[in-house]
Chain A
Amino acid sequence: MTRKPIVFVALAVALTLGASALAGSTRATGDPGITPTSILLGGTVPLSGVASAYSAVAVGASAYFKYVNAKGGVGGRQINYKYLDDTYNPAQTVQLTRQLVEQDKVFAIFNTLGTETNLAIRPYLNQLKVPQLFAASGDTSFGADAATYPQTIGFFPSYQAEGWALGQYMRKSHPKAKIAVIAQNDSYGRDLLVGLNRGLGGGVAKVVAAQNYEVTASDVGSQIAKLKSSGADTLAIFATPQFAIQSYVFANKLGWKPFVITNAVSSASNIMLLASEGGQNKTVLGSVSVVFLKDPTDPKWSKDPAIALYRTILARYAKGANAKDVYHVYGMAVAYATVNLLKRLGKNPTRAGLIAAVDSMNITDDPFLLPGIAIKTGPGDHFPLSQMYFQQYAKTGWKQFGSLVSYKG
């Protein structure tokens, strides 16, 4: 009985030795993560758990960096991108981000996925002056709080911007609409709704009913039934893919045929295809959404060199990845912008230099974005993407229409 602790001291010593053996540090001149031959980026994504579908954004980005590396890298440096699994739990994000910064000595945190996960690490990274590059979240605060958190920048159009664009569209094209909203009960759903109301701008078209759902819910049948009874003629779906599909399916089940508007996350082509239930669900037809990425399933891009390159890269550097998944395109779009930034840093990249470059982005040739969409920032403006197109769903897929709309905020 009393001898036990001996073993346990031995264990502690063994751990000590083991751990110290593991602790190798690579000392280099200049900022962490930069050696004469490499640049190290790091971030977290959910590789397991409920949000694992989003891990494709890291897979796509990683594949693109490997492609760039094969062509010689940036200024002779190979880009290494280390991504870790945080299971979408912010406590894990914090620990793993500290590991990336303090142990792996990354140059910058890149492409970390999620709103709360990015919020959790923002003060830490900003105080240490580690760039929090292209947080994969449309939460408005990542763009709007540039003055307080200069190291942090998002990437895709903010959820409020998307909501605003849809509101503008309704105001102009369906001025008498009565809109019912199904939204996720978190900052994502809330921001979209705020944007929608702002876009409607007190016109006649207005939101007559709104229902929430929890990500932990099994289905949204009850909410859709309640929205139907509100007498609305338009349904706004601000959800994640699975619940977006369900919203269409339940509306159809109830014999409700509203006009549908929906945001970018929940309107990828593969999602719409599922929602159409093999052509039986007519509610999907005519849906209006916003878009900023090239859709790999759209026949319009079948001969596009960027999408051809996308397929080649994915096949070569991310074996087994599904090329129809638009999240991979997103990963490449953000990786392209990153490579562009790194090129501007010259021979001796520094974190300060990176942030200066972040404050003055003007990338007009990201081939994975729709033609005409530019990545633009300025001091105090950390909304890289603020332009998008409308699109309408037809039997053959999404059809882009109208001219570019733009909203910063």
Chain B
Amino acid sequence: MRRTATSAGLFAALVVAIAVLPKFLTDFRAQQFAYVAVYLVALIGLNVLTGYTGQMSLGHGAFMAVGGYTTAILMTDHGIKDLWTIPAAAVVAGAAGFLFGLPALRLTGLYLALATFAIAVATPAVIKKFEGFTGGGSGKNLFGVKELTGGIAPVHVLGWKLNFNNWLYYLCWTVALVLYVVAWLLLRGRTGRAFRAVRDSETAALSSGVSLARYKTLAFGVSAAYAGVAGSLFAIATTYVNPDTFPVQLSIFLLVGVVVGGLGSLTGLIAGAIFIEFLPLWAQDISKSPGAPGVVYGVILIGVIFLLPTGAAGLLRRVASLFRGR
């Protein structure tokens, strides 16, 4: 009981910290931190699947694309306000994930990685093919569309006047924190135990009465729904979608983010999300020669895997136990 109370207290502190953060940031930094929230949502979803249920996915960029395109198409072709497209993106991407989860039941480990990688590689080409529906290679531009809440003019929320970047920041972080709590509730209960049982040993889980089919597809569905929300927020923040905005690299970076953050942990994921958003920027600050950013990124990535075998979450645990020891 006391543990839950402290958790709640600390979570409240986190919420406050996030709420006041923009006061200390330049306008543009707020936007970058909004993207951190977007990636956080995707990483929470991917961690439900990879960290908690043990199913590797190299294709979550594809589910983000489904969410992003749901939002873009609903906004530009059906006149639906951006906020309302977010739940729609969750439903559509979740359904896609659930459907993909059915055949994926037969795959494990590397084979699943390959199958999901195939999805990620194929998605841009498929989006491009159905030009009438998706806008093809030229994509869909959302900036200045009346369905977009943010823009040049400030946004009024509950008497507050927010500019575009702060609006994005608060929108994305609100969604991220809500979904964080949802994931936490889901994972601490029966479902979470079943997920972990599937991860630790499928055979053992099966013999103790856990339905593999049910929980694996559920994990896929939930995970993809999160990715869909992330894709939707990504489209709203970027105000543009085209097949190249959801490249294979996005799927790869998401998996990287989960591993950097720490598999099977939620708090560490914030570090993973920061890694995804800021590392490409830092990498090019170090050198501008063509190709150099890639080298820096690769070296740092391998270094992180070596130095933090359990990701940021493991590091946090170690630091925390140091404090406790004192």
Same assembly: yes
Q: Is the CB of B234 within 8 A of A91?
A: yes
Would you list which residues of chain B between 310 and 325 have a CB under 8 Å from chain A?
313, 316-317, 319-320, 323-324
Q: Is the CB of A99 within 8 A of B14?
A: no
B210 within 8 A of A: no
Bitwise, A1-28 to B at CB < 8 A (1) or not (0) is: 1111111110111011101101101000
B118 within 8 A of A: no
Would you list which residues of chain B between 280 and 320 have a CB under 8 Å from chain A?
280, 284, 288-294, 313, 316-317, 319-320
Which residue of B17, B29, B242 contacts A13 across the interface (Cβ within 8 Å)?
B17
Q: Which residues of B contact A9 (CB under 8 A)?
A: 10, 13-14, 17
Q: How far is the CA of A12 from the CA of B24 in the complex (A)?
A: 11
Q: Is the CB of B245 within 8 A of A5?
A: no
Q: Is the CB of B267 within 8 A of A4?
A: yes
Q: Is the CB of A19 within 8 A of B24?
A: yes
Which residue of A12, A19, A92 contacts B14 across the interface (Cβ within 8 Å)?
A12
Interface of B is mostly: helix
Q: How far is the CA of A117 from the CA of B11 in the complex (A)?
A: 39
Q: How far is the CA of A11 from the CA of B271 in the complex (A)?
A: 9
Q: Is the CB of A23 within 8 A of B25?
A: yes
A94 within 8 A of B: yes
Q: How far is the CA of A115 from the CA of B141 in the complex (A)?
A: 13
Tally of B interface residues using CB under 8 Å: 62
B27 within 8 A of A: yes
Q: Which residues of B contact A216 (CB under 8 A)?
A: 121, 124-125
Q: How far is the CA of A48 from the CA of B295 in the complex (A)?
A: 10
Which residue of B3, B17, B239, B291 contacts A52 across the interface (Cβ within 8 Å)?
B291
Interface of A is mostly: helix
A180 to chain B, nearest CB (A): 23
Would you list which residues of chain A between 105 and 161 have a CB under 8 Å from chain B?
115-116, 119-120, 122-124, 127-128
Q: How far is the CA of A294 from the CA of B124 in the complex (A)?
A: 37
Q: How far is the CA of A88 from the CA of B274 in the complex (A)?
A: 22
Q: Is the CB of B26 within 8 A of A1?
A: no
Q: Is the CB of B242 within 8 A of A8?
A: no
Q: How far is the CA of A187 from the CA of B243 in the complex (A)?
A: 13
Q: Is the CB of A123 within 8 A of B10?
A: no
Interface centre among A8, A55, A187 (most CB of B within 10 A): A8
Q: How far is the CA of A214 from the CA of B126 in the complex (A)?
A: 12
Q: Is the CB of A11 within 8 A of B270?
A: yes
Chain B residue nearest to A55 (CB atoms) is B290
Which residue of A5, A11, A19 contacts B13 across the interface (Cβ within 8 Å)?
A5
Q: Is the CB of B245 within 8 A of A90?
A: yes
The size class of the interface chain A forms with chain B is 35 or more
Q: Is the CB of A102 within 8 A of B143?
A: no
Which residue of B138, B139, B288, B323 contacts A47 across the interface (Cβ within 8 Å)?
B288
Q: Which residues of B contact A94 (CB under 8 A)?
A: 238-240
B222 to chain A, nearest CB (A): 23
Q: How far is the CA of A214 from the CA of B143 in the complex (A)?
A: 28
Q: How far is the CA of A87 from the CA of B21 in the complex (A)?
A: 30
Q: Is the CB of A116 within 8 A of B242?
A: yes
Would you list which residues of chain A between 67 and 110 have a CB under 8 Å from chain B?
83-85, 87-92, 94-95, 98-99, 102-103
Q: Answer whether A12 and B291 are a contact pair too, CB < 8 Å, given A2-B10, A7-B319, A20-B24.
A: no
Q: Is the CB of B247 within 8 A of A89?
A: yes
Q: Is the CB of A7 within 8 A of B290?
A: no
A186 within 8 A of B: yes
Q: Is the CB of A12 within 8 A of B238?
A: no
Q: Which residues of B contact A116 (CB under 8 A)?
A: 137-139, 242, 244
Q: Answer whether A119 and B320 are a contact pair too, CB < 8 Å, given A2-B3, A2-B6.
A: no
B35 within 8 A of A: yes
Q: Answer whether A7 and B320 are a contact pair too, CB < 8 Å, given A94-B240, A116-B244.
A: yes
Would you list which residues of chain B between 13 and 59 have a CB under 8 Å from chain A?
13-14, 17-18, 21, 24-29, 31-33, 35
Q: Is the CB of A23 within 8 A of B26?
A: yes
Q: How far is the CA of A87 from the CA of B283 in the complex (A)?
A: 13
Could you list which residues of chain A lie within 8 angstroms of chain B, going by C-beta atoms? 1-9, 11-13, 15-17, 19-20, 22-23, 25, 47-49, 52, 55, 59, 83-85, 87-92, 94-95, 98-99, 102-103, 115-116, 119-120, 122-124, 127-128, 185-187, 214, 216
What are 20 sample pairs from A and B whose C-beta atoms fall under 8 A apart?
A: A4-B267, A5-B11, A6-B320, A12-B14, A12-B21, A13-B17, A19-B29, A20-B26, A47-B290, A88-B244, A89-B244, A90-B245, A92-B280, A102-B28, A116-B139, A120-B139, A120-B141, A123-B143, A123-B144, A216-B124
Sort A-B residue pairs by CB-CB distance and give the 3 closest, nearest first. A5-B10, A23-B26, A91-B245
